Chains A and B, each alone.
Chain A
Amino acid sequence: MAHDPAVAEAADSKPCAAYLLGLADDAMVYAQRLAEWMTNAPQIEEDMALGNLALDLLGQARALYPYIGSLDGTGRGEDDFAMQRSERDWRNVHLVEQERGDFADEMARLLWFSAYQVELHTALTGSTDEVVAGVAGKALKEVRYHLDHASLWVVRLGDGTEESHRRMQAALERVQPYLPELFDDDEASVGAAGRGVGVLPSSLRDAAVNRVASVLEQATLSMPEPSKWRSRGGRAGIHSKPMGYLLAELQHIARSYPGAAW
């Protein structure tokens, strides 16, 4: 049986499914956080901008979920993944699940996450998996805009007034502990990278840091020192306190009214 190609292929696709679930969950959870800015952003154009970014990320997650469901053999669809999983089944990093702070906090998070995503999707356009390469090619065009948008704001706030500079710098310090987790190589990413489907997160770090560093320089801001404490565990399903509240809001309707359709 070990030589049965179907069985071998099924065993082979499991690590890739686990890897892709991390990417899809990052996008899904961050889409939810960004969507919270609608009606809460400092100006109406920003309500629309962050809503649009959320929509891009939601689309990226939607493109991956059904594919993951076919790879892992469960046949789950996008709603099963988004609406029916409990906290321990989510594989996103802690960065994206943190509560939105002030606008500077969001721009610090968006700058880092989009710099990471630009590198990620650039690399994944060369994936041996056609679906993954296709999703990445599409996403890359979008996340470049996200990075540009965050860069504009970080420069504007950093090189702005004394208060905006101080608060932008403080925001960079606050997101710092959540950054190393983005670039951790876990078992799933090593497996997926080994098959040419994924990419090692650690290999994206330097280029992403360089992108952020060039923005911070123009913004007259400084790169925070590595923090003593850092987040861990998101890719293994261990989450921080805000995740439960986020899921409660995200899944409330689907769980309260099973099978609801509109």
Chain B
Amino acid sequence: MAVESAVAQAISSIPDPEVPVVSIADLGILRSVDIDEHAHTVAVTITPTYSGCPAMEAIASRIVFEADRQGYAADVRTQLSPAWTTDWMSEQGREALRRFGIAPPGAVAAGESRGPVPVAISRHVVTCPHCGASDTTEISHFGSTACKALRRCNACLEPFEEFKAI
């Protein structure tokens, strides 16, 4: 049991290459870890945040590396369905993002509208991770990575990134 949790723990705590304050488990990228104690192998399933997420290969090779350090051969599978959603992000992950200066994602339901796309610069409240004010403005739909938008706080005037709810 101790051995099993060691390899699972090593894989779960791998940091996301683009947002290193959050682990792949806390982000919801890590979908399953199946350990075979006899064969010393581990089957790992991961899912991309976005179709073109360039971090997937780095994550996969890190999983192989960490498993190997624990004496296991890892077989990493990428799975698209069900599609990743920010709702899979853990509370701990959200808190880590906030402390790092990235506003964590809100609930997805708001963005799932099926009707004509509402045209509005900002249609949801995002709280500034620096000062806690809710008066913030979207500067750009897209930030430094596909999963983030760029915003500015109208109270403390600091720019910050928002993890988009998808």
Q: Which residues of A approach B to under 8 Å, CB–CB?
A: 45-46, 48-49, 51-60, 62-63, 118, 122, 130-131, 133-135, 137-142, 144-145, 147-149, 151-152, 155, 210-211, 214-215, 218
Contacts and interface: CB of A to CB of B under 8 A. Distances in A.
B52 A55 contact: yes
A244 B163 CA distance: 39
Q: Which of under 10, 10 to 19, 20 to 34, or 35 or more describes the interface residues of B?
A: 20 to 34
A59 B82 contact: no
Interface string B84-104: 110000000000000000000
B54 A55 contact: yes
Contact of B81 (A137, A142, A144, A210): A137
Contact of B80 (A48, A135, A211): A135
B61 interface: no
A150 to B, nearest CB: 9
Interface string B28-69: 000000000000000000001011111000000000000000
A130 B121 CA distance: 35
B142 A45 contact: yes
Nearest to A48: B142
A239 to B, nearest CB: 24
B150 A45 contact: yes
B80 A134 contact: yes
B125 interface: no
A22 B109 CA distance: 32
Nearest to B47: A138
A59 B84 CA distance: 14
B1 interface: no
B51 A59 contact: yes
B140 A45 contact: yes
A48 B161 CA distance: 13
A134 B83 contact: yes
A152 B121 contact: yes
B52 A138 contact: no
Interface string B118-137: 01010000000000000000
B106 interface: no
Nearest to A214: B116
Given A60-B51, A139-B51, A145-B164, 10 more contacts: A45-B139, A49-B140, A49-B142, A55-B146, A56-B146, A59-B48, A141-B166, A142-B50, A152-B121, A211-B116
A144 B143 CA distance: 17
Nearest to A58: B52
Contacts of A53: 142
Contacts of A155: 119
Nearest to B143: A48
Nearest to B165: A141
Give the residue among A60, A118, A141 with the most B Cβ atoms within 10 A. A141
B50 A137 contact: no
Given A58-B52, A62-B52, A63-B80, A144 B146 contact: no
B141 interface: yes
Nearest to A150: B117
A55 B50 CA distance: 9
B80 A137 contact: yes
Given A147-B117, A148-B117, A56 B140 contact: no
30 contacts: A46-B140, A48-B140, A48-B144, A51-B142, A52-B142, A52-B146, A53-B142, A54-B52, A55-B50, A55-B52, A55-B146, A58-B51, A59-B50, A59-B51, A118-B117, A122-B114, A131-B80, A134-B80, A134-B81, A137-B82, A137-B83, A138-B80, A139-B51, A141-B166, A144-B111, A149-B141, A151-B117, A152-B119, A215-B117, A218-B119
